[in-house]
Amino acid sequence: MEKEDEKGRGGGDYHVQVDTGSDLLWVNCAGCANCPRNSDLGISLMLYNPKSSSSSKMITCDQDFCTSTLDSSNNECIVGMRCSYLVKYGDGSSTTGSTQQALDGILGLGQANSSIISQLAMAKKVKKTFSHCLSGSTGGGIFAIGEVVEPKVNTTPIIPKETHFNIELKAIEVGDEFLRLPRDIYDGRTRRGAIIDSGTTLAYFPNEIYNQLMRSIMVAQPNMKPHIVDHQFKCYKYLGDVDDGFPVVTFHFTNTLPMKVYPHQYLFQVQDGKDVILLGDLVLTDKLVTYNMEDQTVGWTEYNCSSSIKVKDEETGMVYERLDKFLTESEISFAASVVENRRRDAQKYA
């Protein structure tokens, strides 16, 4: 692992995927044989070359940064050896060593000490609070570090002692009917609740929830027959406006916080079911979602992500307007892509 001390030295602009389901900020490095050179987003990809940087430093396993900030997977450290790491994603998959993914890399914004939001907070630069708003119609959206003061957002508690942003799901409503499921399937203490993961495109459910959810949804179209696409996705041919032909699904969380999912944001099933409830970015589109690790809450409100939000600067108390652009106070930019996310999902859930 290598560390870059200052932004701008030996580098340029990198396009990374914002991922609340992991922690590390990383980019593909020079010498990578299988890393992507082109993007479906129409952006230029770049490999980071540590040798061209005046500030890049090798992190060894005996350094404080490795032992206190990273979840090192090396239990037999010898002075001078490289710092190894272990990253666990929201769906249960993991990576070790150096990773090779789509785009230039990943901006992990999880709760661990290794995430950039945690490191900035430990350096007293910011509080551990950030928000995103992903536009489902035009693409792009808003990303900001700091407290959102407008619009107002209702919140639900993060389940304690969990690695990811796990929140307690209380009920699922399809149209005006609630699913009748055993209470323990929602129980956050035994099922770990639902994971909010912006780095995953789709949403995933245990089979018991998924099967009843699909039966309730398809009551609106009883004569439609499914077909399988790409050997894994259950799809239906429908020529009309799906928002007119299918019901709204509402997830109800602690603090009576609902999340409405409209038919155009519907979910896909992968052949191998997961014993986890995971809500990806299709579900999160057209909502301002806030993550407050200071108060241990997650919240959201339906919002036009092509507009703007107002964010408070903790040091000055000033309120700034963030427009339809992915920016933070540290001028970290990123690009998010459903196409690229789906490639990652295929690898994660294969």
CB 126 within 8 A of CB 117: yes
Nearby residues of 251 by Cβ (< 8 Å), 6 or more positions away: 169, 171, 172, 173, 194, 258, 259, 261, 279
Q: In this structure, which long-range contacts are made by residues 67-76, counting pairs with CB atoms below 8 Å and at least 24 apart in sequence?
A: 68/113, 69/113, 69/114, 69/119, 70/1, 70/24, 70/113, 70/114, 71/23, 71/112, 71/114
What string of DSSP letters covers 115-171? SHHHHHHHTTSS-SEEEEEE-TTTS-EEEEESEEEES--EEEEBPTT-SS-EE-EEE
How are beta strands 154-157 and 227-229 bridged, if at all? Answer: unpaired
Q: Count the Cβ atoms, other than its own, within 10 Å of residue 93.
A: 15
Is 345 assigned a catalytic role? no
116 torsion bin: left (phi>0), alpha (psi -120 to 50), beta (else): alpha
CB 276 within 8 A of CB 128: no
The catalytic position among 19, 281, 286, 345 is 19
Is 275 assigned a catalytic role? no
Distances (CA, A) of 228 to 217, 240, 246, 271, 313: 18, 20, 19, 10, 49
Q: Please state, in angstroms and rounded to a whole number, the distance separating the CA atoms of residues 191 and 171.
A: 14
Q: Count the Cβ atoms, other than its own, within 10 Å of residue 209.
A: 18
The catalytic position among 23, 91, 104, 197 is 197
Q: Distance from CA of residue 261 to its chain's centroid? A: 17
Active-site amino acid positions: 19, 197
